Amino acid sequence: MSTSLTFEYPLNERIRTFLRLEYLLEKVAHFLPQEDPWMSRVAVEGILGILTITTRGDIKTELLKELERNTNALNRMQREPEVDPKTLEKTLDDLRKAISDLHKSSGQIGQSLRQDGFLKSIAKRSSIPGGTCSFDIPQYHYWLRQPLKLRQQQLSDWMQSLQPASNGITLALSLARTSAEPREVTATGGFYQEALNIQAPAQLVRVTLKDGSHLFPEISGHKNRFSIRFMSVKETGRPTSWQKDTTFTLTCCVF
């Protein structure tokens, strides 16, 4: 069975932040149910990463703006004859619920967690290499040795306050990713560039390669254009510029 590998590159700061938060949310979700105390450590590190990002700006307002923009765009599509009305209404309902849940959540994303004394003590020491070992935070050492059920419950309680943001980010990125049809293009000599329509700026570029190609793309760009340079790691083990014509699947996510 053929498989593929997709690389994504954000074309604005809002989507860049959402992708980073999505990565951390998925990291926590993966490690939360695992029994090994080291896995619980990784889940906590993911939560602290989320709190660090959401401290830097008003992510809640940015997310609400994105969801409301999506709602307005879909409302304008209701009269289009090729649109499936049931699917459209379901998506609009999901957007309305995500917006409502965010409005109901008090304060900024992660505000209650930033006030949690236990998490604060871990966060304070996490900036120091090895700063969360047993003699630094004995309470953390004790907690990590508690039964899995207890640790899972604590992690789930922490994640519960992040759920409205998690749902909103998942929905916004899903709409972006499915907003355009993938197309096959060729990078001449391993290089590809494309100008973008500034009237309908793309938010995200997705590059899909067949697994086993031994290539990866280095992508750069902004709202006006982007470029892709393919790199190879097959022969030397170190990245080198790929000089051959390469066909790949490109999606420019405009929504």
Q: Is the pLDDT of residue 200 over 90?
A: no
- At residue 235 the predicted structure's pLDDT band, cuts being 50, 70 and 90, is low
Beta bridge partners of 207: 7, 250
CA-to-CA separations, 92 to 88, 104, 125, 173, in angstroms, rounded: 6, 18, 43, 15
Burial class (CB in 10 A: 0-12, 13-18, 19+), 20: middle
Eight-class DSSP state of 56: S
**Which pLDDT score, from 0 to 100, does residue 236 have?**
66
The residue with greater pLDDT, 100 or 224, is: 100
Question: What integer pLDDT is reported at residue 223 of this predicted model?
Answer: 82
Q: From the centroid of its chain, how far is CA 174?
A: 10
Buried b (16+ CB within 10 A) or exposed e, 136-174: bbeebeebbeeeeeebbebbeebbebbebbbbbbbbbbe
Q: Which of 4, 61, 50 lies closest to 25, judged by CA?
A: 50
User: Quick check: 99 and 67 in contact, CB under 8 A?
Assistant: yes
Tens of pLDDT, residues 95-152: 999 999 999 998 899 999 999 999 999 999 998 999 999 999 999 999 999 999 999 9
Strand partners, 232: 215, 240
Residue 167 has pLDDT above 90, yes or no: yes
Q: Would you say residue 87 has pLDDT above 80?
A: yes
What is this structure's pTM? 0.92
Among the ranges given (82-91, 104-113, 231-240), the one the predictor scored with the smallest mean pLDDT: 231-240
| pLDDT value at residue 147 | 96
Summarised one tens digit per residue, pLDDT across range 28-39 is: 999 999 999 999
Residue 203 · residue 8 · CB < 8 Å: no
* pLDDT tier for residue 2 given thresholds of 50, 70 and 90: low
Tens of pLDDT along 18-57?
Answer: 999 999 999 999 999 999 999 999 999 999 999 999 998 8
Average model confidence (pLDDT) for the chain?
93
Residue 36: the pLDDT is: 96
Closest to 226 (Cα-Cα) out of 204, 244, 249: 204
Q: State residue 209's pLDDT score.
A: 94
